[in-house]
Structure 1
Amino acid sequence: MKRITILFLSTAFFILSFNVCAQDAPPKTGASAQELADKLANPVASLISVPLQNNLTYGIGPYNGIKYQINIQPVVPFKLSENLNLITRYILPVVDQQDVTGANTHEFGLSDATITAFFAPKTKGIIFGAGPAFLVPTATEKLLGTEKFGIGPSVLVMHQGKGLSIGFLANQIWSVAGASDRADFNQFYTQIFLTHSYKSGASLGVSSEITQNWQGNTTLITLSPNVGAITKLGSQTMQFAVMPLIPIVGHQSIKPDWGLRAVVAFVFPGS
């Protein structure tokens, strides 16, 4: 875990350095760097991207656990008509954690996947999307997943102008099938975000994530100021972002003392 921490911090420092440098060297793409930053701030933009979201949290629960989780999060849009898109978002978590489920414990493997499909009309100004969200039991270790299949509604509402994005997305998922000896899944999640982009492709913002586990009667709220940038490595357009994960509210069993997040997103502007 120490090696993971060093690797994560080195990656975060590299990303932050790239963010500063990228402000003077925006990528030359079909869309401007600021337009790409605005599209990436929009969860239902018609843009193919593959974010790799690295999360490192310390001081989890009564055993002061440490958890490293990388979320593989491809976003794939489908054009249904001239005025309607289907935006599919996938989250596949890979987890390495120690002292989270008990003293001197260690788990590594896949956790459960979440798949969301937003039906998004093509609009300007106020942007809206809605559709189903699915919980898929892909965990490779019992303690990393629910062993339940779940489904529920998801919604996005946001306002976007040039350089400014503000809004929220939310979902509520209930388990409908799965192992009878495991607890039911009943969870609400929302993310509230504000992002300001610049001509260089750099961006500053803040977001808050709220997870309410109705079954376990626990709430976790985090606040994350963030900095990001659009740049190119060779011919590949990429976005980098780094942010702290500041816990505001949380039950002792799930609330970390602090955390960090670093995101590397591969962007395909021609989509």
Structure 2
Amino acid sequence: MKTLAFLGSLLLLTQVSPVYAQEASDLAKKLSNPIAAMISVPFQWNYDHGAGPNNGDKVTLNVQPVIPISLNEDWNLISRTIVPVVWQNDIAGNSGTQFGLSDTTQSLFFSPKAPTSGGIIWGVGPAMLLPTGTDSLLSTRKWGAGPTGVVLRQHGPWTYGGLANHIWSFAGDDSRSDVNSTFLQPFVTYTTKDAWTFALNTETTYDWTNDEWSVPINAMVSKLVKIDEQPISLQAGVRYYAASSDNGPDGFGARAAVTFLFPK
């Protein structure tokens, strides 16, 4: 019901504040590119259920600013930051409720400004794990780093590709488990001429330390609108855990997001 209500308000906003179709469609397609040379600030809300033996609940608000930096005529440096604000209850048995910051992931992509002759857009660089969690159950208490990369192609209304990283811990609390984790995010999106975007992706994580998979599949719909000349993308969708770790969430979850765009 909450998702339906969100979509209803999304439709209302599109009627109140229409956007020129071509401009909106172009911006929506840029937003489908994780390393587009455009400042964007997403606020992404996620709800998951079924964690731990007591089927705990978890709500995460990811603040995810994307900031491009022009290095020269040919190259950009794209900064992508994920700062999670988390509320959770009984995610580790009778563990009670925690609320606060979780660990931050900072990624930097060195990316050519022009696609290849075949239309391929790509970027590579480092990813870093920063132990910013404000509670022991919200943090790995580890510093980590590793490589990250993204490759995609945009053809007509379609955007398809994948983003990946691998992070190893190298410092932190010796009493906590080491971090040795691979993240894989294949994605495909379709953007209409009136700036609706339909997206499907997975956010797969493999924990090499504990030999566990987590495979949430996300199906989302978004609409780009303007409010007082400010481009904003509104998104809602559902997720399903095709695989989950022993103490991770399972079944269905939900996602909604508001993204502020700052095109040049």
Superposition TM-score, scaled by structure 1 size = 0.91
Counterpart amino acid of 1:98?
A: N
Q: Which of 45, 63, 67 lines up with 2:58 in the alignment?
A: 67
- Which is worse superposed, 113-122 or 55-64? 55-64
TM-score, normalised on structure 2? 0.93
Provide closer, same or farther for how the CA distance between residues 166 and 203 of structure 1 changes in structure 2, counting only shifts above 3 A. Answer: same
The residue identity in structure 1 corresponding to 2:249 is: K
CA separation of 1:142 and 1:104: change in aligned 2, threshold 3 A: closer
Select the residue among 224, 233, 238 that pairs with 2:227: 233
Whole-angstrom CA distance in 2 between matches of 1:18 and 1:87: 32
Partners of 2:198 and 2:133 lie apart in 1 by 34
- Name the structure 2 match of 1:3: none
Q: In the aligned structure 2, how far is the partner of 1:229 from the partner of 1:26?
A: 11
Residue of 256, 261, 265 corresponding to 2:255 = 261
Q: CA deviation at 1:14?
A: 4.4
Work out whether 1:148 is the aligned partner of 2:142: yes
Shift of 1:242: 0.8
Determine the C-alpha separation between the residues in 2 that align with 1:171 and 1:149. 15
Instruction: Indicate the residue corresponding to 1:251 in structure 2.
Output: 245
Q: How is 1:5-154 mapped onto 2 (pairs within 5 angstroms)?
A: 10=2, 12-21=3-12, 26-28=18-20, 32-103=23-94, 105-124=96-115, 125-154=119-148
1:194 is aligned to 2:191: no
Which string of whole-angstrom CA distances, capped at 9 and with x for unpartnered residues, describes residues 96-127 of structure 1?
A: 00010122511111000000000010233211
Letter in 1 for 2:134: T
Q: SS of the residue aligned with 1:175?
A: strand
Question: Would you say how many aligned residue pairs link Structure 1 and Structure 2?
Answer: 260
Q: 2:172 aligns with which of 163, 169, 178?
A: 178
RMSD, aligned α-carbons = 1.7
Identity of aligned residues (%): 38
Task: Give SS of 1:138's match.
Answer: coil
Deviations 1:225-251 (A, max 9, x none): 111100012222100111101110113
Aligned to 2:212: 218
In structure 1, distance between residues paired with 2:7 and 2:254: 13
